[in-house]
Structure 1
Amino acid sequence: MRFLPTEEQTAFAEAIDEIVEGAGGADVARAWADGDTAPGLALWAQFAELGLLGLRVSEEAGGFGGTLGDLVVVFERLGYHGVPGPYLETVALLPSLVDDGTRQALAAGAIATAAVDGVAPAAVDAAVATHRYLVRGDALHEGEPGAELTSVAPTRRLARLSPTGASTPLVPGALDAALNEAALAAAALLVGAGERLLAEAVSYAKVREQFGRPIGEFQALKHQLADVRIALSFARPLVWNAALRADEPDEDRAVSAAKVAAGDAALRAARTSLQVHGAIGYTAEHTLRIWLGLAPALSAAWGTPDFHRARIARDILPKER
């Protein structure tokens, strides 16, 4: 198995970096968190032109026809930049659940979000979405958003959805596959967010001084930063492993292992980065708040750590006779 991106995937990742930086970098996320969605929606349109939104839509349906490996590459970069918007729902979750016409609309740039009873009870960014769905039972419903809920991540606006209109029965197995893909995308986002938190911590450790020395020179802090590096370096191969094991018998376990490891690594990165930054890291004015919120929010999204650990345990522990 190849746990590294191809040359084409690396070029795609670099294109994402250039587009985000050209659009303002972290300022896009800061604006979204403060209620100004215009820069984020403009970035969404640019990504639609790039073909990113149709990443998991077949070429016949007007999409990119990308693999799960492509998905991992893309979502890691989105996590690194803290790009706001319901990309996970539009790109990873919904393409395999909606009809052909809607699938083409998603690939063309429509903004979609979804809630799934028992897994993701609230939809992200329903106020800006043009397509809203609620999965209840074995059916897909159009959703009507209610009051906005509070999220620990300032760029994630949550809302409960109520079913409205006719429902569409889902093909057996389609929801499980879609939820695995959503969890995989969330794991890749967590790795990207963790990498950004580590980069911010290392950069600040070089300039913040205590006792007349940069704090990055203190061995205890170096050890903590090294622990973050190790955690992220162990999580990334698990994410790639899950991408490469799609449709294999142990796919569920591979996805859950990736999600747990990525969540743990991102949370460790958040704690360490906050410690490095000190009190300034808590402030609403500091950009660090984007990733400090994303780490716990995404760790709990599309299957909590307890859910995924239990799924791993069921798969590896002896069955009772």
Structure 2
Amino acid sequence: MRFELTAEQTGFARSLEDLLTRTDTAGANRSWSDGDHRPGLALWSRLAGLGVTSLATEATPVEVCVAFEALGRHAVPGPWIESAAFLPVALPDVDLSGSMATVAVPPHVPFATDADVVNQVYAVADARLRRATVQEQQGSVDRSRHLFEVAAGDPVEHGDLTAAFDLAALATAAELLGAGERVLENSVAHVKQRSQFGRAIGSYQAIKHQLADVRIALDFARPLVHGAAVNPKPRAVSAAKVQAAEAANRAARVGLQVHGAIGYTAELDLSLWLLRIRALIPAWGTPAHHRERLLADLLETR
């Protein structure tokens, strides 16, 4: 099957890319990490104006993936997966398009992301979506993801939580794909500029092969993400999440290696994507969980 974005989807992707390219998203990410939410909230409002927060209910999973790949490519801060993927499906009768919300879904999402800045906090407990109160903050490998313990309270009327989880997992896969693409782009630019022994290190076959392996991994992940967006069954979503996590992890490892010692520094913007990838790999279902779900589905259909 050949998958191509429609003209409208391509135009939407271009609009997002234009907006995010003109914005200092790395600066917004760093400010968010330090507790200054103003740049991130301003960017949130602009993206909401483009309809990103309404895609889960007013568009298809394909548009959701288009948006989240762009969010990952630019390391946009904020509880986007919770606000724009999970909760709109979990709360179909609640208009969340103009607000920022977050949710904890133990055991796969034990903490609520950015509960210090949102308007509404929820938690899933006993297979019910409930309002929640914010408790102690926990550390995160990605400083732009502020994680909080929450206490579940009274239940609320909700929709299909399994479908909501699957869309959130798919959005996470798309964001990982975008982050992996950005790391590869930065790595290719770096190896063309950095010289050793009088030659750009990108001219060495060993470097070329590693970057080519990243390119292949990302190109193998994208059809699975798009396929799950077209037909978002649990098996397809799990396959997409596993492959996108593996591809992004490969991109991060190779990117760190080709950048050398500077790649370990927090001052280099590359660290924003490396840490985001590290945080998203286990988010909304670890690779092990999704492999188990994929295997169970395959065995059931034999």
Say whether the 8 Å CA contact 2:92–2:158 is kept in structure 1: no
Distance apart, 1:169 and its partner CA: 5.0
Structure 2: stretches of 5+ with no match in the other structure? none
Give the Cα separation in 2 of the matches to 1:154 and 1:14. Answer: 29
Say whether the 8 Å CA contact 1:134–1:143 is kept in structure 2: yes
Say whether the 8 Å CA contact 1:30–1:287 is kept in structure 2: no
Distance apart, 1:22 and its partner CA: 2.5
Q: Report the TM-score when normalising by structure 2.
A: 0.96
RMSD (Å) for aligned C-alpha atoms: 1.5
Give the Cα separation in 1 of the matches to 2:239 and 2:28. Answer: 31
Q: Give the total of aligned pairs.
A: 302
Give the Cα separation in 2 of the matches to 1:252 and 1:318. Answer: 13
1:10-33 residue CA offsets vs partner (Å, 9 max, x unmatched): 111111122223232322212222
- 2:110 aligned residue (121, 124, 131): 121
Give the Cα separation in 1 of the matches to 2:132 and 2:108. Answer: 16
User: Are 1:312 and 2:300 an aligned pair?
Assistant: no
Amino acid paired to 1:80: R
Report the equivalent of 1:220: 206
Distance apart, 1:319 and its partner CA: 8.2
1:188-240 residue CA offsets vs partner (Å, 9 max, x unmatched): 00000000000000000011111111110000000000000000000000001
Report the equivalent of 2:261: 279
Distance apart, 1:40 and its partner CA: 0.5
Give the Cα separation in 1 of the matches to 2:106 and 2:256. Answer: 34
1:11-66 residue CA offsets vs partner (Å, 9 max, x unmatched): 11111122223232322212222322111000001112222111123xxxxxxx11
Calculate percent identity across the aligned residue pairs: 49
Report the equivalent of 1:17: 17
User: Are 1:239 and 2:228 an aligned pair?
Assistant: no
SS class of match (1:189): helix
Residues 12 and 253 of structure 1, relative CA distance in 2, 3 Å threshold? same
- 2:162 aligned residue (176, 191, 196): 176
Report the equivalent of 1:84: 77
Give the Cα separation in 1 of the matches to 2:169 and 2:47. Answer: 22
SS class of match (2:224): helix
Give the Cα separation in 2 of the matches to 1:244 and 1:76. Answer: 16
Amino acid paired to 2:52: L
Amino acid paired to 2:226: W
User: Are 1:35 and 2:35 an aligned pair?
Assistant: yes
Amino acid paired to 2:264: Y
User: Are 1:97 and 2:90 an aligned pair?
Assistant: yes
Say whether the 8 Å CA contact 2:131–2:156 is kept in structure 1: no
Report the equivalent of 1:266: 248
Report the equivalent of 1:134: 123
Report the equivalent of 1:66: 59
Say whether the 8 Å CA contact 1:5–1:73 is kept in structure 2: no
Give the Cα separation in 1 of the matches to 2:271 and 2:146. Answer: 15
SS class of match (2:185): helix
Report the equivalent of 1:163: 152
Structure 1: stretches of 5+ with no match in the other structure? 58-64
Distance apart, 1:307 and its partner CA: 0.1
SS class of match (2:32): helix
Residues 168 and 318 of structure 1, relative CA distance in 2, 3 Å threshold? closer
1:258-294 residue CA offsets vs partner (Å, 9 max, x unmatched): 0000000000000000011111111111111111011
Give the Cα separation in 1 of the matches to 2:289 and 2:10. Answer: 32
Give the Cα separation in 1 of the matches to 2:260 and 2:54. Answer: 41
Give the Cα separation in 1 of the matches to 2:85 and 2:158. Answer: 16
Give the Cα separation in 2 of the matches to 1:18 and 1:27. Answer: 17
User: Are 1:208 and 2:194 an aligned pair?
Assistant: yes
SS class of match (1:153): coil
Amino acid paired to 1:31: S
SS class of match (1:162): strand
SS class of match (2:193): coil
SS class of match (2:103): strand
Report the equivalent of 1:62: none
Say whether the 8 Å CA contact 1:23–1:39 is kept in structure 2: no
Report the equivalent of 2:6: 6
1:159-207 residue CA offsets vs partner (Å, 9 max, x unmatched): 111123x312545xx1111110000000000000000000000000011
Give the Cα separation in 2 of the matches to 1:319 and 1:68. Answer: 24
The answer to which of 198-207 and 310-319 deviates more is 310-319
Say whether the 8 Å CA contact 1:114–1:134 is kept in structure 2: yes
User: Are 1:290 and 2:279 an aligned pair?
Assistant: no
